[in-house]
């Protein structure tokens, strides 16, 4: 498995393993999915452009918007 830049990750709502750093500097690896504004609005609620992005469960009940720096691809690294 290879780490790839986050801008190459699928943004179709599928779940992807991502790598991100929390506010305490702790490196995390989580399953997340990208939510577009359209997808958020389809789920209901009051969403705006600031809510679009990568979301992950940080515990069994809580989702958080995160800023991943890379994602883990199942494809072999070309290098």
**Does a structural domain hold residue 57?**
yes
> Can you list the alpha helix ranges (DSSP code H) found in the chain?
37-42
Asked whether 54 and 71 are in contact (CB, 8 A), the reply is no
**Does a structural domain hold residue 49?**
yes
**Does a structural domain hold residue 31?**
yes
Separation CA 40–CA 3 (nearest Å): 27
Asked if residue 1 has pLDDT above 90, the reply is: no
Separation CA 1–CA 72 (nearest Å): 6
**Does a structural domain hold residue 69?**
yes
**Does a structural domain hold residue 78?**
no
Domain that holds residue 52: 2-73
**Does a structural domain hold residue 20?**
yes
Model confidence pLDDT, tens digit, residues 16-65: 999 999 999 999 999 999 999 999 999 898 999 999 999 999 899 999 99
Report the domain count for the chain.
1
Model confidence pLDDT, tens digit, residues 19-30: 999 999 999 999
Asked whether 64 and 58 are in contact (CB, 8 A), the reply is yes
**Does a structural domain hold residue 50?**
yes
**Does a structural domain hold residue 34?**
yes
Separation CA 76–CA 68 (nearest Å): 21
């Amino acid at each position: 498995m290879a780490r790839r830049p986050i801008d190459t990750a699928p943004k179709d709502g599928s779940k992807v393993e991502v790598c991100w750093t929390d506010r305490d500097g702790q490196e995390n690896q989580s399953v997340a999915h990208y939510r577009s504004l359209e997808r958020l609005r389809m789920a209901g609620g009051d969403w705006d452009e600031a809510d679009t992005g990568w979301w992950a469960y940080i515990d069994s009940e809580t989702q958080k918007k995160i800023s991943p720096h890379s994602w883990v691809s199942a494809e072999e690294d070309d290098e």
